[in-house]
């Protein structure tokens, strides 16, 4: 899909169909040329409502406002409405929020994210026929738009949306086609394409690094684990950011076997690690002046004679002992070792981990929202703020000392599950905090993406399946760190 930015008025742009965004139900706006036809069709201009007027060559779609979130989902709805048609070229005006070209970026993201489909395993594939999208600088409120600034935003939108779709592809790939070795190969290929440095740790190196909790989770699988370290290191970076991702390429639950219904979609348990890879891709292609390190623990949790067991006591990389009471609480064991390894390798200004860690997060905040936890309210709030700015939903879940007591073990330093069924997302966050050292304690946030990472129906700009949750929020955060001289 190619994007062309033009100074020509919309009426002078040549395309097969025009998309008109109706903002705030305003059917009297000068862009709306078919008021009577729209009224007959029952179109009111509600958010994401669409109406295709074939004879006029126009598709109308509603947006609640000119804010980026509304324009992004409207653009996604428009491109979805054109799927299956034979149109090859589109034209559309520029929509900004009081001249802010970030809304233009959101619109382009919406087109790319909305056009995504995963058809790898279908014998008949439906091709997206739309190849060209022309964007006129004629603006909704008749404001003058700087073509250079607009062009930069379109370029950024393409990079970030493509990185999100790259992440979606990895998550959607079946466990038999994407296991730890494959995930490492994808990282190496992406690093070669983007200029990132990539280091892969295999079992021998993992044993040398004393990553015994990660190795325990992996040992019943025929696929050996990998730890991936991707590095973006520009000259004179403004600050250093470390990202850590849970890459469970499949999670059967281990000996604490999941019920059959809960085992379906567990290919999505690699969403955190996949998001880290997508973020690193975008950071490299944007060439942001921030040093960024991405660590992924790629592991498969299976059953067998060599499986780790409830009642085992494991020793993590930092020496803490962990009583195992449920082998389905495996993601935190992988993250424990990878967090320790990441802090050993890099002393960073910010440390973020991404994981589809708990069903409790979905119970707490729903399918569409990420839960943000940590020891520093400012860092926690920063993630929430930038998630919303980027078009993702996130909310803070605050730690408290009473829930921390529920992961105390009588026979080891800590237990891998709580002794209560309540507050499971927070107790999992408390568990991870045991593996964040004092130097990073106030610089760390845990991002539980279990809700939005994989949903079995379309929502907003997201399709059925993987959403690429975490990519846009973290790229936006790192972009803003690049602008900020105070860290």
pLDDT tens string, the chain, 487 residues long: the values are 899 999 999 999 999 999 999 999 999 999 999 999 999 999 999 999 999 999 999 999 999 999 999 999 999 999 999 998 999 999 999 999 999 999 999 999 999 999 999 999 999 988 788 999 999 999 999 999 999 999 999 999 999 999 999 999 999 999 999 999 999 999 999 999 999 999 999 999 999 999 999 999 999 999 999 999 999 999 999 999 999 999 999 999 999 999 999 999 999 999 999 999 999 999 999 999 999 999 999 999 999 999 999 999 999 999 999 999 999 999 999 999 999 999 999 999 999 999 999 999 999 999 999 999 999 999 999 999 999 999 999 999 999 999 999 999 999 999 999 999 999 999 999 999 999 999 999 999 999 999 999 999 999 999 999 999 999 999 999 999 998 755 4
Instruction: Catalogue all structural domains in the chain, each as residue range(s) with its CATH number.
Output: 2-145 (3.40.220.10), 166-483 (3.40.630.10)
pTM as predicted: 0.97
Query: How many residues are given for the chain?
Result: 487
**Alpha-carbon gap, residue 95 to 68, rounded angstroms:** 9
Asked whether the CA dihedral 65, 472, 285, 278 is positive or negative, the reply is: negative
Pairing of strands 369-374, 321-323: unpaired
The active-site residue, picked from 80, 91, 226, 332, is 332
Could you tell me which of 171, 50, 44 has the C-alpha nearest to residue 114? 50
**122: its two tokens:** 């279908």
Examine the residue annotation and report whether 442 is marked as an active-site residue of this protein. Answer: no
Q: What's the token pair of residue 147? A: 């073509």
Asked if 258 is an active-site residue, the reply is yes
Q: Is 378 exposed, middle or buried (0-12, 13-18, 19+ CB in 10 A)?
A: exposed
β 321-323/313-315 pair status: antiparallel
Which phi and psi (to 5°) does residue 227 adopt?
Answer: -115, 125
Sequence-separated (6 or more) residues with CB below 8 Å from residue 418 = 403, 406, 407, 424, 427
CA distance linking residue 193 with residue 232, whole number of Å: 13
Catalytic site residue from 149, 258, 325, 442: 258
Query: Could you tell me which of 56, 142, 151 has the C-alpha nearest to residue 101?
Result: 151
């Amino acid at each position: 899909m190619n994007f062309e930015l033009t100074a020509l008025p919309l009426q002078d742009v040549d395309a097969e169909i025009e998309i008109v965004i109706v903002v705030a139900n305003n059917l009297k706006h000068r862009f709306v040329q078919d008021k009577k036809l729209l009224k007959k069709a029952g179109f009111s201009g509600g958010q994401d409502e669409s109406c295709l007027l074939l004879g006029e060559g126009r598709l109308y779609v509603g947006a609640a406002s000119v804010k980026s979130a509304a324009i992004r989902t409207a653009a996604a709805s428009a491109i979805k409405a054109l799927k299956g048609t034979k149109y090859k070229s589109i034209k559309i005006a520029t929509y900004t929020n009081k001249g802010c070209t970030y809304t233009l970026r959101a619109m382009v993201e919406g087109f790319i994210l909305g056009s995504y489909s995963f058809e790898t395993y279908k014998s008949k594939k439906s091709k997206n026929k739309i190849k060209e999208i022309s964007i006129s600088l004629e603006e909704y409120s008749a404001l003058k738009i700087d073509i250079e600034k607009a062009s930069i935003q379109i370029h950024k939108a393409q990079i970030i949306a493509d990185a999100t779709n790259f992440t979606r592809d990895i998550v959607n790939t079946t466990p038999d086609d994407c296991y730890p070795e494959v995930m490492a190969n994808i990282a190496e290929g992406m690093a070669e394409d983007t200029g990132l440095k990539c280091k892969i740790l295999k079992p021998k190196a993992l044993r040398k690094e004393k990553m015994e909790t990660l190795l325990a989770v992996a040992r019943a699988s025929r696929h050996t684990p990998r730890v991936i370290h991707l590095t973006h290191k520009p000259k004179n970076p403004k600050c250093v950011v470390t990202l850590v991702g849970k890459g469970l390429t499949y999670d059967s639950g281990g000996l604490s076997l999941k019920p059959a219904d809960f085992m379906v979609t567990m290919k999505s348990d690699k969403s955190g690690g996949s998001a880290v890879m997508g973020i690193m891709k975008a950071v490299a292609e944007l060439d942001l002046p921030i040093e960024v390190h991405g660590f992924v623990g790629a592991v498969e949790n299976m059953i067998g004679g060599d499986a780790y067991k409830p009642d085992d006591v494991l020793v993590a990389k930092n020496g803490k002992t962990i009583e195992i009471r449920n082998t389905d609480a495996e993601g935190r064991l992988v993250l424990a070792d990878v967090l320790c390894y990441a802090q050993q390798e890099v002393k960073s200004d910010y440390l973020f981990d991404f994981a589809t860690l708990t069903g409790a997060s979905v119970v707490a905040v729903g399918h569409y929202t990420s839960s943000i936890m940590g020891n520093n309210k400012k860092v926690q709030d920063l993630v929430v703020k930038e998630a919303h700015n980027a078009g993702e939903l996130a909310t803070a879940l605050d730690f408290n000392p009473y829930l921390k007591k529920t992961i105390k073990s009588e026979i080891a330093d800590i237990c891998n599950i709580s002794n209560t069924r309540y507050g499971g997302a927070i107790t999992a966050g408390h568990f991870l905090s045991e593996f964040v050292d004092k130097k990073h304690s106030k610089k760390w946030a845990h991002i539980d993406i279990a809700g939005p990472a994989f949903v079995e129906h379309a929502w907003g700009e997201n399709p059925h399946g993987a959403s690429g949750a975490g990519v846009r929020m973290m790229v936006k955060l790192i972009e803003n760190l690049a602008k900020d001289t105070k860290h």
